[in-house]
Structure 1
Amino acid sequence: MAPTPRKSQASSPQRRELYFFTLYRVLEAALLGLVAFSPAGEMLLTIREPAMLQTLVVLYMAASVALLVASYRSQMPAPHQAAIGLGLDLLIVAGTLSTTTGSQGGIALLMLFNVGAGALILPQRAGLGFASAAAIIVLADSLYHRTVDPLNARPMAESVMFSVTYLATAVLCELLSRQVTESQALAEKRGEELANQAEINELVIRRMRTGILVVDGDHQVRVCNEAAWALLGKPSPDRKQLADVAGELHKALGRWRSGRSEIPRPMTLAEGAPEVLPRFVSLSLTDNLYLIFLDDSRIYSDRAEELTLATLGRLSASIAHEIRNPLAAINYSVQLLEEATELPEADRRLLEIIHTQCQRMNGIVQDILGLARRERSQPETVDIGQFARRFVDEYRASHPLETDILQSVAERSTLAMADPRHLHQVLTILVQNALTYGRMPGEPAKVTVAVRSGPPGAPPEINVLDRGPGIPPGVAERIFTPFYTTSEHGTGLGLYIAQQLCEANQCTLTYQPVPGGGSCFRIVMPPGMTLMQDDTSSGRLNLA
């Protein structure tokens, strides 16, 4: 198995391990100095060459101190320094064994720590190499003494056991080092993930539309996101006390902490800011922190309006179904009466009025049913220029315009994503409104369905324009509100349904006043997803 590579640059744990390794080496040098220079050394072992041993000990002490200083000052990688120190240890051990007698057991035990510490820092092959070198030194010394002085030589089995112990220690320490390295890498990875998650959480909280405040037990603001800062009137960062920033909110929090249960009521925290509904949550009993949510009261109003509209739509749909059956019977009876040959002219006129009003009621029922059961959009790539031309041709064929004018204008082939059925329904509503209300008194209506592609990258648009009197600003703000109408014949649902259908297709429908008079309803559409389209003028394929 290939050895696991390690980083050449020493990490902080390796520096710490190297420091204690070199510190232990200084202790070893001190013990050898005690043996070489103290009278007690003669009691521990027999020194055959005192001068040589003392020279080795002095050099070893100087080198140990130098390596200790280099362990925290030198820029040399930790494995290199450990290899130099361990090589020095083996040389000193070999010299000590050659100048003394009876010291093999003690020296071998001292070397056990050096071999293990070296395996923790060095790569796998280097650690096993130094362990093998130590084993060879011990075995060679044992063989030498058995050859020179067999009577006083130590058992060969002892040297073999020391050698095996060196190798086993190197392997175990190397495995331990690998596990520690992997654990450290995993811890660093988890730390980075936690830091990234904390940064993401902070960004999410900062960008939330709901205002969020974190205050401590003294009502001092600890955290304030952008929405809360705006709702508080953008106070200075130096103002930390909640009572100074929002006195009413400070009192409400105090009442909540005292246990007085009350229904949250809207409050305005700054001049010009919207009303908010505060909600309080205790984060921790020990840290005494409180979380305050500041919800814009308009959100609840919009939700209530949506629920009301949904309920009203379902109710209206059930009523519309009940109206449709008798309405169909009345319309069918009128058609039968119109076939009579001896019907007076006055009665025939009454039948026309009944037929017209039945058609009007059927249109109202259709609008209500469209509001109640809107189908899910199924968008596809549509050439809206060609679609607009085909729509105008079909509308003129099915709706006699008499003197009114309906035309289409398309600059070139333009692709967009939309549900063709929904787009047809939206254009029908806008064109009918333009033909009905977009005319000057006594003049024919002139309605244009214009497709504009804009510059490259800009979303395509469909504009329905008329040359009528326009819409007053006060009315224009409410034209997309359901059931709002200024006409006694309208339901106020057409533009609302058109806007809902546009939103279902990721489009936007807006009203734009036309300079010089008239109205423009603009549909901004997402671009088509097709990458290539046929350029019929040049006979080649171009990027869309």
Structure 2
Amino acid sequence: MATASTSAANSGEQPPGLQQAKLFRIYNHYRVLISLMLVALLFIDPVNFDTRFRFLDYYQFGVAGYFALNSFVAILILAGFQPRPRHIIVSILLDILIMHGLLFTSTGITNGLANLVIISVAAGNILTPSRMGTFYAALAAICSLSISGWAILVLGGNGDDIVRAGSLGILYFAAAFILQNISRRMMRSEALANSRAQSIVELEQINKQIIQRMRTGILVLDRYVQMRLANAAAEEFLFGAPTHKGAHNSSSRALPLPLKAGLEVWLKNPFQHTTPFQPTPTSPMLQASFTRLDKESGDLILVFIEDMSKVTQQAQQMKLASLGRLTAGIAHEIRNPLGAISHAAQLMEESPNLDTDDQQMLDIIRRHSRRVNGIVENVLSLSRRRPANADLVDVPNWLKEYRTDFLQTQETTSPPAEVTLTIEPNIPDARFDKSQIEQVLVNLCDNGLRYSQQQSGERKIILSAGATADGERAYIDVRDYGPGVTAEASHSIFEPFYTTDKGGTGLGLYLARELCEANQAHLSLTEDDQPGCCFRITFAHPGRMI
């Protein structure tokens, strides 16, 4: 309970008890005003009171007592008394009984005070939206019918009083049911709004902690190129150490001159790639990227700063590890003995004295020679890979053109290839080298068609394009109808020389991921409940230069 109260206080919301007390305070003001008006009416036209009221003395006493009771409750509330639900229930019951007592001692159910009972019932259902609200309506209806029945039996009153009492009873129950429903919905809506507000506050606190702890430096600059915010990583990169005084106390520090120069270059040409820089001779090499925090007003500029030395080091370690795995299986002179083996196999094939067993051995030699040659070609293509020449690409149109070109290369295959294309709306542009990503898609599509045919006998795949959850980046999915990838194999399929196909080289997916990384895209295997497997290429933000 203490935790809930603290959370409510931190988020600015009021606990249910305080809100109920506030509403009751407003309702008590209304009661004081009504009782004051009834007291004032006692002094108007006092001569005819005897003819219009059944029990004038009791009526006057009831009005005075009602005013005194409401005034006393108002004084208690002003003194700081917090009414609890049981106090509110008793107050509503007293209101209903006192109002009917005034009706009984005045002119009966035809008196205008009967309309005030509806307000009391309505207020009770708002303040305590539960079964107690129905009891308020039932009590008010019974009291109204009792007054009308007594007037008919004892005073010989008109039967219309019963009809009016019944109509009032219907109004009491209608008000109770309608207001209970409205109150419950309002309470649920308010609880949902409070829950979301609390979630937003918690997310804001989490975001602040993440920004302060992340290793990418983040700066927010105003139109005068003054720092408005800097996280700990940015202060460490630019100034040597964070201030430890919070992200909002960095405005007194001036930007390093190389960063200012890069910002000026970006302001002149937002698409020009800024060069890495060093704030001081002893600082690591840094790379800054800029964007406007608010694209409409453009007052604030968001700066991302990355440590290039760590990125370069990690990339170099990955390359060295990959080259180590490659050189473990491939010798430098492998092509020469491979050529000699292939040539010898061709000479043996021309011999007229070969039996069936010798033909089978020659077939094994030829098949494995082609496989080794494919491995060598893939390794050579990896080492000769040119840098990515990225363009801003309209992904849906480019994917349609790729599908058409790819199907033309599959016209002679049997069975024919079937490539289904699905494109979601509002896909952002992507920046990549068309030829390199096309090479990746050809590899993924060929694999998908082959495994689909092995599983179902049909060569068919699905190409789909969409946007990530934030709507800022595009992705392309290649889904097949094959047997899928096991959980154990999913962790190794992008490793070099790993293959589940006896005729494969095990370098296709490895090269595909390398090409994607060169274009700042990410190739991954998505896990879902659909048949086959699905490979996803997620592109970087189009504003990020390669």
Tell me the TM-score range normalised by the shorter chain: 0.5 to 0.7
Aligned counterpart, 1:160? 166
Give 1:325's match in structure 2, choosing from 308, 315, 338: 338
Gaps of at least 5 residues in structure 1 are: 1-8, 331-364, 373-421, 423-544
Cα deviation, residue 76, structure 1: 4.3
Does residue 38 (structure 1) correspond to residue 52 (structure 2)? The answer is no
Alignment of 1:404-415 (within 5 A): none
For the Cα contact (< 8 Å) 1:45–1:101, is it kept in 2?
no
Report if the CA contact (8 A) 2:141-2:168 is conserved.
yes
1:34–1:287 Cα change, 3 Å: farther
CA displacement 1:258-302 (0-9 Å, x = unmatched) = 557643122222453212111111011347222100011224534
**3-state SS of 2:254 partner:** helix
Q: Give the number of the structure whose alpha-carbon radius of gyration is greater.
A: 1
Which among 103, 106, 112 is matched to residue 112 of structure 2?
106
Does 2:39 correspond to 1:25?
A: no
Name the residue aligned to 1:264: 274
In structure 2, C-alpha distance between the alignment counterparts of 1:11 and 1:221, rounded to whole Å: 45
Cα distance, 1:223–1:260 mapped onto 2, change above 3 Å: closer
Which residue is 2:8 aligned to?
none
Aligned-pair CA distance for 1:240 = 3.3
Q: Aligned residue for 2:285?
A: 275
| Rounded Cα–Cα distance in structure 2 between residues aligned with 1:72 and 1:286 | 49
- 2:185 maps to what in 1? 179
Q: Of the candidates 218, 236, 241, which is equivalent to residue 234 of structure 1?
A: 241
2:87 is the alignment partner of 1:81: yes
**Residue 35 of structure 1 contacts residue 42 of structure 1 at CA under 8 Å; is this kept in 2?**
no
- Residue by residue, what CA displacement relative to the aligned partner does 1:383-440 show, whole Å, maximum 9, x if unpaired? xxxxxxxxxxxxxxxxxxxxxxxxxxxxxxxxxxxxxxx9xxxxxxxxxxxxxxxxxx
Q: Could you tell me which amino acid in structure 2 is paired with residue 325 of structure 1?
A: L
- Mean Cα deviation higher: 248-257 or 214-223: 248-257
Change (3 A) 1:87 1:102: closer
Which amino acid counterpart does residue 306 of structure 2 have in structure 1? D
Separation in structure 1 between the aligned mates of residue 47 and residue 229 of structure 2, nearest angstrom? 70
Aligned to 1:291: 302
Amino acid corresponding to residue 335 of structure 2 in structure 1: E
**1:151/1:118 CA distance change after superposition, 3 Å:** closer
1:311 Cα deviation after fit: 8.2
Counterpart in 2 of 1:506? none
Q: Which amino acid aligns with 1:147?
A: L
SS in structure 2 at match of 1:174: helix
Q: State whether residues 46 and 102 of structure 1, in contact with CA within 8 Å, keep that contact through their aligned partners in structure 2.
A: no
- Correspondence 1:63 to 2:69: yes
Distance apart, 1:68 and its partner CA: 3.0
SS in 2 for 1:234: coil
How far did residue 27 of structure 1 move? Answer: 2.1
User: What's the offset of the Cα at 1:139?
Assistant: 0.6
Which one of 204, 208, 222 corresponds to residue 198 of structure 1? 204
SS in 2 for 1:155: helix
2:543 aligned partner: none
Give how far 1:189 is off: 1.9
The 8 Å contact of residues 212 and 294 in structure 1, kept in 2 or not, is answered as yes
Note closer, same or farther for the CA distance 1:62–1:155 as it changes in structure 2 (3 Å cut).
closer
1:142 positional shift:
0.6
- Give the Cα separation in 1 of the matches to 2:271 and 2:342: 60
Q: 2:312 aligns with which of 284, 290, 301?
A: 301
Deviates more, 1:159-168 or 1:301-310: 301-310
Match of 2:146 among 133, 140, 144: 140
CA contact 1:18–1:78 (8 Å) conserved in 2: no
Matched, 1:222 2:235: no
Per-residue Cα deviation, 1:1-43 (whole angstroms, up to 9, x for no partner): xxxxxxxx84333223212211221122123213323228959
Alpha-carbon distance in structure 2 between the residues aligned to 1:43 and 1:276? 94
Using the TM superposition, name which of 63-72 and 317-326 deviates more: 317-326
Shift in alpha-carbon separation, 1:217–1:81, aligned structure 2, 3 A: farther
Percent same amino acid among aligned pairs? 25
CA distance in 2, matches of 1:161, 1:313: 91
Q: C-alpha deviations, 1:451-506, integer Å up to 9, x for none?
A: xxxxxxxxxxxxxxxxxxxxxxxxxxxxxxxxxxxxxxxxxxxxxxxxxxxxxxxx
The one-character-per-residue Cα deviations of 1:131-152 (angstroms, maximum 9, x if unpaired) are 2111111111111111123345
Q: Secondary structure at the match of 2:45?
A: coil
Residues 161-170 or 201-210, more deviating = 201-210
CA distance in 1, matches of 2:249, 2:184: 52
Give the TM-score normalised by the residue count of structure 2.
0.53
Say if 2:109 and 2:164, in contact at 8 Å, map to a contact too.
no
Q: Match of 2:293, as an amino acid?
A: L
Separation (CA, whole Å) in 2 of partners of 1:224 and 1:45:
84
Letter of the 2:241 counterpart: K
Correspondence for 1:53 = 59
What is the deviation of 1:318? Answer: 8.9
Q: Structure 2 counterpart of 1:34, which letter?
A: A
- The TM-score with structure 1 as length reference comes to 0.53
Q: Does the CA contact (< 8 Å) of 1:279 and 1:292 recur in 2?
A: yes
Encode CA deviations 1:504-539: one digit per residue, 9 max, x unaligned: xxxxxxxxxxxxxxxxxxxxxxxxxxxxxxxxxxxx
Structure 1 equivalent of residue 424 of structure 2 = none
CA distance in 2, matches of 1:222, 1:26: 54
Report the equivalent of 1:469.
none
Tell me the matched-pair count. Answer: 336
Of 35-44 and 245-254, deviating more is: 35-44
Separation of aligned partners in 2, 1:218 and 1:43 = 81
Deviates more, 1:310-319 or 1:294-303: 310-319
Q: Is the 8 A contact 2:233 2:242 kept in 1?
A: no
Contact 1:128 1:167 in 2 (8 A): yes
Q: Deviation of residue 98 (structure 1)?
A: 2.3
Shift of 1:248: 3.5
**Are the structure 2 counterparts of residues 155 and 88 from structure 1 closer, same or farther at C-alpha, using a change threshold of 3 Å?**
closer
Q: 1:92 to 1:295 in 2, by over 3 A?
A: same
Which amino acid letter does the alignment assign opposite residue 188 of structure 1? N
Helix, strand or coil: the match of 2:90? helix
Partner letter of residue 302 of structure 2?
Answer: L
- Helix, strand or coil for the counterpart of 2:274? coil
SS in 2 for 1:278: strand
The answer to whether the Cα contact below 8 Å between 1:243 and 1:250 also exists between their aligned partners in 2 is no
Q: CA deviation at 1:48?
A: 3.2
Q: Distance in 1 between matches of 2:51 and 2:99?
A: 15
- The answer as to whether partners of 1:45 and 1:102 remain within 8 angstroms in 2 is no
Q: Does the 8 Å CA contact 2:212/2:231 hold for their aligned counterparts? A: yes
Residues 311, 221 of structure 1: CA spacing in aligned structure 2 closer, same or farther, 3 A cutoff?
same
